[in-house]
C-alpha cells in the first residue's frame, strides 16, 4: 500500500518561507476585518433605515455576500471587473473579495446585536441632548460591539481560512500561495500542505485564545 517515503525534512526547510507567508495571511485577514467591520456598521445602519434608497443597496450587498460562495466573490473582483477594464492584483482582489464577504456576514451580526439593545437607550441618549450620531457613537455602538464580540472573532477565524482561496487567483505570497509555489517545485504535496495546515491551525487557535483573553479583560464588569 505505502510505497512512498515521506520527506519531512524538505517541508521543514521551507518553514521560514511559509511563516513569512503566514504573516501576509494575517495581514490580509486583519485588513479585511477592519474594513469589513467599518462597512458592516454602515450596512447595519442602512438596513435599519427608513429610506428605501439606503435600505435596498445594503440589503442587496448582504444577500449577495451571504448567498454566493466566497470563491465566486473573489473571482468577481479578479476576473469579473476585467470586463470594465479594471484589473486588480491578486492581493487586492483577495482583499476585496474577503472584505465584501466579511461585511455581509458581520452586518447581520451587528443587526442582531442592535436588536438586542433596548430602544430606550437611544431615547435616553437623545433626551440628554445628544444628536443621533453622537448617541449612536457613545451609547449604542459600545454595547453593540460588546454583544457582537464573540461572533466577530469567529468571523476573524473564517477570514483567515478564507485567505487560502487567494491561490486560485494566482496569489503567491500568502501561506497557501507560498506552499503551492513550493509544491510545484518539489512535488512534496502532502508534507508541505500538512505543515501549512498545522500553521493555519495554530493561527486559528491563537486568535481564539487572544479573543478570549481580550474579552475577559474588556468585559469584566
Partner 1 sequence: MFDTALTAGDLWFMMKGAGVTLAITFFAVVGGTLMGVTFGVIRSHVSPWLTLPLVFVLDIFRSVPLLIQLILANAFQAIAGLQISPFTTSCIVLALYTSAYCTEIVRGAIDAVPPVTRRAARSLGLTWGQDMTQVVFPMALRVGLPSWIGLTLGVMKDSALVMWLGIIELLKSSQIIITRLQEPMLILLIAGAIYFALSFPIARLGGHLERKWQEND
Binding residues for partner 1, per CB under 8 A?
1-4, 63-64, 66-72, 75-76, 79-84, 157, 161-162, 164-165, 167-168, 176, 189-190, 193-194, 196-197, 200-201, 204-205
State whether residue 16 is helix, strand or coil.
helix
Residue 53 vs residues 38, 50, 74, 158: alpha-carbon distances, Å: 20, 9, 27, 31
Positive/negative CA dihedral, 114, 117, 119, 123: negative
- Using the minimum distance from each CB to partner 1, give the nearer residue, 130 or 199: 199
Tell the smallest beta-carbon distance from residue 123 to partner 1 (Å).
26
Whether the Cβ atoms of residue 25 and residue 91 lie closer than 8 Å to each other: no
CB of 36 to partner 1, least distance (A): 17
Q: With respect to partner 1, which residue has the nearer C-beta, 141 or 154?
A: 154
Q: Which is nearer to partner 1, 66 or 123 (CB)?
A: 66
Are residues 93 and 28 in contact, defined by beta-carbon separation less than 8 angstroms?
no
Minimum CB separation of residue 162 from partner 1 in Å reads 8
CA distances from 19 to 2, 11, 26, 105 (A): 30, 12, 10, 29
Angle at 39 between CA 126 and CA 218, to 5 degrees: 65
Residue 38 or 189 with smaller CB distance to partner 1: 189
Looking at the Cβ atoms of 139 and 163, the one nearer to partner 1 is 163
Q: How far is the CB of 141 from partner 1 (least distance, A)?
A: 26
Min. distance of Cβ 6 from partner 1 in angstroms?
A: 8
Output 131 or 210, the one with its CB closest to partner 1: 210
Q: 102 to each of 38, 54, 92, how far by Cα in Å?
A: 10, 19, 15
Q: How far is the CB of 19 from partner 1 (least distance, A)?
A: 16
Closest Cα to residue 172, out of 18, 12, 13? 18
Amino acid at each position: 500500500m505505502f510505497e512512498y517515503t515521506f520527506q519531512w525534512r524538505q517541508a521543514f526547510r521551507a518553514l521560514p518561507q511559509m511563516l513569512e507567508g503566514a504573516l501576509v495571511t494575517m495581514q490580509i485577514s486583519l485588513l479585511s476585518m477592519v474594513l469589513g467591520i467599518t462597512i458592516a456598521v454602515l450596512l447595519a445602519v442602512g438596513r435599519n433605515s427608513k429610506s428605501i434608497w439606503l435600505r435596498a443597496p445594503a440589503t442587496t450587498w448582504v444577500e449577495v455576500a451571504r448567498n454566493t460562495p466566497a470563491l465566486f466573490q473573489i473571482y468577481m473582483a479578479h476576473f469579473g471587473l476585467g470586463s470594465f477594464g479594471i484589473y486588480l492584483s491578486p492581493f487586492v482582489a483577495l482583499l476585496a473579495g474577503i472584505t465584501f464577504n466579511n461585511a455581509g456576514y458581520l452586518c447581520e451580526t451587528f443587526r442582531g446585536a442592535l436588536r438586542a439593545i433596548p430602544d430606550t437607550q437611544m431615547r435616553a441618549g437623545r433626551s440628554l441632548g445628544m444628536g443621533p450620531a453622537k448617541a449612536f457613537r457613545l451609547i449604542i455602538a459600545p454595547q453593540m460591539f460588546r454583544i457582537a464580540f464573540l461572533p466577530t472573532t469567529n468571523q476573524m477565524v473564517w477570514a483567515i481560512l478564507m485567505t487560502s482561496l487567494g491561490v486560485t487567483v494566482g496569489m503567491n505570497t500568502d501561506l497557501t500561495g507560498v506552499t503551492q509555489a513550493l509544491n510545484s517545485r518539489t512535488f512534496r504535496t502532502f508534507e508541505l500542505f500538512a505543515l501549512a495546515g498545522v500553521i493555519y491551525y495554530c493561527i486559528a487557535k491563537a486568535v481564539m485564545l487572544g479573543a478570549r483573553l481580550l474579552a475577559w479583560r474588556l468585559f469584566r464588569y
